[in-house]
Amino acid sequence: MYKLKLASAVIGLSIASSGFAATDIEWWHAMGGANGEKVNEIAKAFNDSQDAYTVKPVYKGNYTETMTSAIAAFRAKKQPHIVQVFEVGTASMMSAKGAIYPVYELMRESGQSFDQSGFLSAVTGYYSDQEGNMLSMPFNSSTPVLYYNKDLFAKAGIQNPPTTWEEMESVSQKLLDNGVKCGFTTAWQSWVQLENFSARHNVPFASEANGFGGLDTKLTFNGPSQVAHIEKMSEWQQNGIFSYGGRRSDSAPKFYSEECAMFMNSSAGYAGIKKNAKFDFGVSQLPYQGSAISEPKNTIIGGASLWVLQGHKKEEYKGVASFLSFLSRAEVQADWHQFSGYLPITRAAYDLTKGQGFYAQNVGTETGVLQMTSGTPTPNSKGLRLGNFVQIRDIINEELEGVWAGQKSAQAALDEAVKRGNVLLRKFERANK
Amino acid sequence: MSVYFPHKKLPYLLVLPQLVITLIFFLWPAEQAFEQAFYQEDAFGLSREFVGFDNFVYLFNDPQYYKSIWVTLVFSFSVAFSGLAIALWLAVMADRVIRGKLTYQTLLVWPYAVAPALAGVLWWLLFDPSMGPVALWLQYFGVDWNHFLNGDQAMTLVVISATWKQISYNFLFFLAGLQAVPRSLIEAASIDGASPFKRFWTIVFPLLSPTTFFLLVINLVYAFFDTFGVIDATTQGGPGVSTATMVYKVFNDGFIGLDMGSSAAQSVVLMFLVGVMTVIQFRYIERKVEY
């Protein structure tokens, strides 16, 4: 009797496990540390919410490593279902038509209800095609903001952070007069001082609507307003108002050590600043040129989105689609936004966070959202879609460093950067015809 | 009388594993790179176009590329020279230590276990113009240290980080080499009244030449091929292109920029250059080596 029971239990179990075996969905991401643990938590919440699919998040290193390994895996036909790709890789992903499964198509073909209008247009614009269809699912987005040292401001008798570049100069001068070593520094110089500067002042960074209109785009960031801005910054580099602190976010120590009173960096840098700054700091919107425009446009985003790759079974894509729906739920989004410091992606997540009183408790965390959603995005502020953009940014870094070192004029450096960058755009056009 | 081995196949069988490894891990990838250099393709490999010498033409029409060759030469010879000189000096000193010899030697070998990228980060922290202790100390002495703007300082920084690691390796070989120098020769020289300085340059240094030559080749190859991690972690090739060496460009264009064609063409050029250099070393410098 006992043996029979045992046998039936074993048979029953084996049937159960074969009948209800969950389909695995692999998700390669680049979120290390605390954010990585949060990613695992999100996947677990999804896996617990149903039993048809199991999402398996795999950490693959930094953004470039993740993208490179996904591409290598695709070439070897071992690609994951979902991969997280940073914003500068967008053009490469988009052009790989046989490799990606556009999110809007995936959602439609898997019968998932999917409302694009619930997403913030400044975020989805970056990842949509010309017709406005979302090609990838935004996941972690950020935008540059201005951080300022409230203690140093108080010491110099300054009440409000500067809102225009003109005020940037006068406020910095006042700080310098009060013994501060440098007015401001910047991280990600190409992203903040050229890409976002152009968007905010509604001037094109590249032709063909910043590359959204086609692969035959040409760089145009050597226009008069960008040149004037870089010219001014090079002057400030000489007199201490601006101090260059290196590529990526290498300049952060200048702000932490109170050498510079202001710092332009990603809104996602909030947590890092909170941890490292031994002073009271505030967050404000990026300045604009008051003499040129009366109202700035929205800033553009950085960060990454989730791309779905081709080559899997239809059944598995159903799971991918339901996971992406789960990800865009307001409570999942709001939790991720509040935990990581990345921007909310849907209107509902923003409202939910606001309703929970998060912005009131964490002053400054709303700045990025407000700045990014101010006004309707124009072709100049929708985003950038340029091939070989990683290398183009390198070229921009190289040329700008020549300006900061006083070896080149702003005009000459930007002209050269445009010329060298265009060669790379033509190469990309040729390879992706 | 010559020794005769009756087996015809056995010798080949014995070298077979070595040949297979060379074939799979060296010749095959080299051939792949060579082939790729004549193609241009998108990142995913969905389309591939034969472009002949276009990748090379593009490379040699780019003034930045010539700069990177110059940067590579300056970087590699600085790394090899300072790595050898400092290691030799340390080895000579360690050879004279009597008490605590083992501890001293072990400590000197440690840095070799540190990963290149990590070594880069360590030096990056020490030399950060705003927070790094070394940079602040230099500023105290009136040196305006800012490797984010000053290309020569950036070069100094990457040379230091790349050399530091290699010193341990060189040290080991030099120490072994020094211990092989016959004591009797040195004693005879000191009886004849030669100063320690004279003894070193006329006896020890020439007898060390096989070791020095071997290390020179190894160090140059290290500096040419193995240092992109250090550069990526410290300067990313900047400011401007003042620390963008050829191998860093190969890494950056290929793995980060996903431009396989150009990256492959660059590695072919690099392979050729290092090949030529090795031939020169073996033909001209090796003649001065006394075995």
Across the interface, which of B40, B131, B252 has its CB nearest the CB of A431? B40
The reply to whether B209 touches chain A by the CB within 8 Å rule is no
Structural contact between residues A136 and B83, judged by C-beta atoms closer than 8 angstroms: no
CATH superfamily ID and name for A144-298+387-431: Periplasmic binding protein-like II (3.40.190.10)
pLDDT at A20: 56
d(CA B43, CA B257): 9
| Interface membership of B238 toward A (CB under 8 Å) | yes
User: Per-residue pLDDT for B120 more than 90?
Assistant: no
pLDDT of residue A17: 45
Evaluate whether B267 touches B33 at the Cβ level (below 8 Å).
yes
Domain ranges of chain B: 63-288
Query: How distant is the Cα of B111 from the closest Cα of chain A, in angstroms?
Result: 25
Residue A353 has which token pair? 């966070």
Cα–Cα–Cα angle for A213, A218, A223, nearest 5°? 115
HSE-CB of A260 using CA atoms within 13 angstroms: 27
Nearest 5 degrees, angle CA B200-CA B204-CA B205?
85
Residue B97 in tokens:
């230590």
pLDDT of amino acid B1: 54
Q: How far apart are CA B150 and CA B127, in angstroms?
A: 13
Residues A250-276: what's their mean pLDDT?
A: 92
Span B166-191, average pLDDT: 91
Q: Which residue has the higher pLDDT, A93 or B1?
A: A93
Exposure on the CB side of residue B289, measured as CA atoms within 13 A: 17
pLDDT band at A8 (very low <50, low <70, confident <90, very high): low
In chain A, residues with a C-beta closer than 8 Å to the C-beta of B58 are 423, 427
Mind telling me how many Å the CA of A253 is from chain B's nearest CA?
Answer: 6
Tokens of A393: 């940014």
Residue B54 phi, psi (nearest 5) = -55, -40
Cα–Cα dist A98/A77, whole Å: 13
Highest mean pLDDT, choosing among A14-28, A127-141, A178-192, B176-190: A178-192
Indicate the pLDDT class of residue B5, thresholds 50, 70 and 90. Answer: low
Q: Does A330 touch chain B (CB under 8 A)?
A: no
Cβ neighbors of B17 (< 8 A, separation 6 or more) are none
**Number of residues that this document lists for chain B:** 291
Query: Which of B39, B42, B56 to mutate to probe the A interface, most A CBs <10 Å?
Result: B42
Statement: residue B130 has pLDDT above 90: no
Mean pLDDT rounded to a whole number for chain B: 89
Point out the least confidently predicted range of A123-132, A175-184, B56-65, B214-223: A123-132
Q: Which of A68, A75, A398 lies closest to B238 in CB terms?
A: A398
> How far apart are the C-alpha atoms of B169 and B108, rounded to whole Å?
9
3-class DSSP state of B71: helix
Q: Cis omega (within 30 of 0) on the bond before A204?
A: no
3-state helix, strand, coil in chain B (%, to 5): 75, 0, 25
Spatial separation of the C-alpha atoms in residues A228 and A224, rounded to whole Å: 6
Token pair of B179 as six digits = 């211990």
Tokens (6 digits) for A155: 């010491």
Question: Is B95 near chain A, with CB under 8 Å?
Answer: no
Q: Name the closest residue on chain B to residue A238, using Cα atoms.
A: B149
What DSSP letter does each residue of B131-151 carry, written as one string?
T-HHHHHHHHTT----TTT-H
Strand pairing partners for A307?
Answer: A83
**Nearest CA distance, B226 vs chain A (angstrom):** 18
pLDDT band for A1, please (50, 70, 90 cuts): very low
- Quick check: B46 and A71 in contact, CB under 8 A? no
Contact of B134 with chain A, judged by CB distance below 8 Å, is answered with no
Nearest to B258 among A71, A248, A433 (CB): A71
Tokens 């020094």: give the residue.
B178
* Residues of chain B above pLDDT 70, percent: 97
Task: Please give the Cα distance from B204 to A367 (Å, whole number).
Answer: 69
Chain A residues in contact with B252 by the CB 8 A cut-off are 391, 394
Check CB contact under 8 Å for B237 and A398: yes
Question: Amino acid identity, residue B272?
Answer: F
Which tops the pLDDT comparison, B41 or A235?
A235
Cα angle, residue B56 at apex, residues B51 and B60 outer, rounded to 5°: 145
B232 CB within 8 Å of a chain A CB: no
Residue B75 pLDDT: 96
Give the pLDDT score at A18. 44
The identity of residue B68, as a single letter, is S
Query: What is the predicted pLDDT for the residue at A4?
Result: 52
Quote the percentage of chain B above a pLDDT of 90.
47
Whole-angstrom distance, CA of residue A281 vs CA of residue A252? 14
Q: Give the pLDDT confidence of B255-271 residue by residue, as tens digits.
A: 888 888 999 999 999 98
The whole-number pLDDT of residue A16 equals: 44
Q: How far apart are CA A31 and CA A303, in angstroms?
A: 11
pLDDT the model gives residue A366:
93
Q: Rounded to whole angstroms, how far apart are CA atoms A126 and A346?
A: 14
Contacts with A404 from chain B: Cβ below 8 Å = 149, 239
Domain chopping of chain A, boundaries: 20-142+301-361, 144-298+387-431
Residue to substitute from B148, B153, B234, interface A, most A β-carbons within 10 A: B148
Counted across chains A and B, CB pairs separated by less than 8 A come out at 103
Q: Is A307 within 8 Å of chain B by CB?
A: no
CB A387 within 8 A of CB A91: yes
- On whether any CB of chain A is under 8 Å from the CB of B41, the answer is yes
Q: How far apart are CA B259 and CA B256, in angstroms?
A: 8
Partner-chain contact A398 B240, CB within 8 Å: yes
Q: Are A139 and A304 in contact (CB under 8 A)?
A: yes
Lowest mean pLDDT among A19-28, A119-128, B142-151: A19-28
What percent of chain A clears pLDDT 90, i.e. is strictly above it?
74
Residues A36-46: what's their mean pLDDT? 95
Measured distance CA(A390)–CA(A127) in Å, rounded: 17
> Would you state the structure tokens that stand for residue A312, as one six-digit string?
């899997």
The structural architecture, per CATH, of the domain A20-142+301-361 is 3-Layer(aba) Sandwich (3.40)
Q: Are A135 and A305 in contact (CB under 8 A)?
A: no
Q: Given CB atoms, is B50 within the 8 Å cutoff of chain A?
A: no
CA distance A30 to chain B (A): 14
Q: Is residue A322 a contact partner of residue A43, using CB atoms and an 8 Å limit? A: no
Mean pLDDT for A333-337 is 94
| Cis before A296? omega within 30 | no
Query: What pLDDT does residue A19 have?
Result: 45
Sort out which chain B residues have CB atoms less than 8 A from A420's CB and list them.
64
Q: Is A41 on the interface with B (CB under 8 A)?
A: no
Mean pLDDT computed over every residue of chain A: 91
Mean pLDDT of B46-63: 90
Of B130, B149, B262, the CB nearest to A253: B130
Instruction: Tell me the HSE value of A4 on the side-chain side, using a 13 A CA sphere.
Output: 1
According to CATH, the topology of domain B63-288 is MetI-like fold (1.10.3720)
**Does A246 contact chain B (CB < 8 Å)?**
yes
Q: Dump pLDDT digits (tens) for B8-47.
A: 888 889 999 999 999 999 899 999 999 999 998 888 888 8
B49 to chain A, any CB pair closer than 8 A? The answer is yes
- Cβ of B44 within 8 Å of Cβ of A246? The answer is no
Over the stretch A341-371, which tens digit does the pLDDT of each residue have?
A: 899 999 999 999 999 999 999 888 999 999 9
